Amino acid sequence: MTVVGPFGLSVRDQALEADVQAGMAAVEEGLLEATKSEVPFITEAAQHLVKAGGKRFRPLLVMLAAQFGDPYAPGVVPSAVVVELTHLATLYHDDVMDEAAVRRGVPSANTRWDNSVAVLTGDFLFARASQILADLGPEAVRVQALAFERLVTGQILETAGPQDGRDPVDHYLDVLGGKTGSLVAVSCRFGAMMSGADETVVDVLTQYGERLGVAFQLADDVLDIASDSTESGKTPGTDLREGIATLPVLRLRERAARLGLADDLALCELLASDLTDDDRHSEALRLLRAHPALEQARRDTVRYAEDARAALAPLRECDAKTALVELCDAVVHRAG
Q: What percent of the chain has a predicted confidence (pLDDT) above 70?
A: 88
54: left (phi over 0), alpha (psi -120 to 50) or beta: left
* Average confidence (pLDDT) over 300-322: 95
For residue 181, the 8-state DSSP code is: I
Q: For 8-12, 124-128, 274-278, 301-305, which range has the lowest pLDDT when averaged over its residues?
A: 8-12
* Confidence bin at 84 (pLDDT 50/70/90): very high
Yes or no: say if 56 and 104 are a contact pair by the CB < 8 Å rule: no
Classify residue 40 as exposed, middle or buried by CB count within 10 Å of its CB (0-12, 13-18, 19+). exposed
Looking at residue 9, what is its pLDDT? 56
- For 139, residues 6+ apart whose C-beta sits below 8 A from its C-beta are 193
* Confidence bin at 169 (pLDDT 50/70/90): very high
Q: For 182-191, 229-238, 266-275, 286-295, which range has the lowest pLDDT when averaged over its residues?
A: 229-238
Distance CA 320, CA 10 (A): 11
pLDDT of 56 > 70? The answer is yes
By C-alpha distance, which of 123, 101, 138 is closest to 238? Answer: 101
pLDDT of 246 > 90? The answer is yes
DSSP H or E stretch at residue 222: helix 199-226
pLDDT of 292 > 90? The answer is yes
* Confidence bin at 50 (pLDDT 50/70/90): confident
pLDDT of 23 > 70? The answer is yes
Q: Mean pLDDT, the chain, as a whole number? A: 87
Looking at residue 1, what is its pLDDT? 36
Q: Is the dihedral of CA 249, 174, 128, 208 positive or negative?
A: positive
Looking at residue 2, what is its pLDDT? 44
* Average confidence (pLDDT) over 169-193: 95
By C-alpha distance, which of 113, 112, 109, 79 is closest to 94? Answer: 109
By C-alpha distance, which of 44, 43, 58, 131 is closest to 90? Answer: 58
The Cα-based distances of 12 to 122, 224, 250 in angstroms read 37, 32, 40
pLDDT of 30 > 80? The answer is yes
Yes or no: say if 202 and 315 are a contact pair by the CB < 8 Å rule: no
Q: Length of the chain in residues, anyone?
A: 336
Looking at residue 3, what is its pLDDT? 41
Domains parsed from the chain with CATH numbers: 15-197 (1.10.600.10), 200-336 (1.10.600.10)
pLDDT of 334 > 90? The answer is no
Distance CA 314, CA 205 (A): 10
